[in-house]
């Protein structure tokens, strides 16, 4: 009984599907933020236009691969957003669950001197 209660009290990582509405709200707030570069805003708007467009690189009716281009584009743009925006701006607009944001954000690579 104690093991079952201990398992319930553990914090679970949110699934990627449950993060989509939060990411949408997050990107909306970043688009309105003056400290975000215009190139990042253009990338987010371009992604939204592509996702809403009925024209795709890989047609959606192809089983298993139809949404692959959409998923790859979202990953590339979100990675670009996290790489170009300062961490304090990201933390300000993300909210309380900072560990989830740090899990989504790619690790910074250190440049080798010389």
Tens-digit pLDDT profile for residues 56-103 = 888 878 887 888 888 888 889 888 988 898 888 888 888 777 777 777
Question: How many structural domains comprise the chain?
Answer: 1
Residue 36 lies in a domain: yes
Residue 62 lies in a domain: yes
Residue 32 lies in a domain: yes
What is the band of 12 on the pLDDT scale with cuts at 50, 70, 90?
Answer: low
Phi first, then psi: give them for residue 75, nearest 5 degrees: -65, -45
Token representation of residue 37 = 């570069």
53 or 23, which is more confident?
A: 53
Question: pLDDT tens-digit profile of 29-49?
Answer: 888 899 999 999 999 899 989
Residue 54 lies in a domain: yes
Residue 8 lies in a domain: no
Looking at residue 107, what is its pLDDT? 61
Residue 89 lies in a domain: yes
Q: How far is CA 68 from CA 73, 82, 88, 89, in A?
A: 9, 21, 32, 30
Residue 7 lies in a domain: no
Closest CA to 43 of 84, 86, 89, 100: 84
User: Virtual CA dihedral for 108, 73, 99, 15, nearest 10 degrees?
Assistant: -150
Domain assignment of residue 50, given as a range: 18-104
Residue 3 lies in a domain: no
Looking at residue 66, what is its pLDDT? 80
């Amino acid at each position: 009984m104690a093991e079952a209660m201990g398992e319930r009290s553990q914090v679970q990582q949110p699934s990627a599907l449950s993060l989509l509405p939060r990411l949408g709200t997050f990107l909306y707030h970043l688009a309105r933020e003056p400290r975000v570069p215009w190139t990042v805003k253009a990338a987010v708007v371009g992604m939204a236009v592509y996702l809403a467009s009925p024209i795709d690189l890989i047609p959606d009716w192809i089983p298993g691969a139809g949404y692959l281009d959409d998923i790859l584009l979202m990953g590339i743009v979100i990675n670009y957003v996290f790489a170009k925006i300062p961490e304090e701006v990201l933390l300000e607009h993300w909210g309380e669950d900072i560990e989830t944001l740090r899990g989504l954000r790619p690790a910074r690579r250190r440049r080798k001197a010389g």
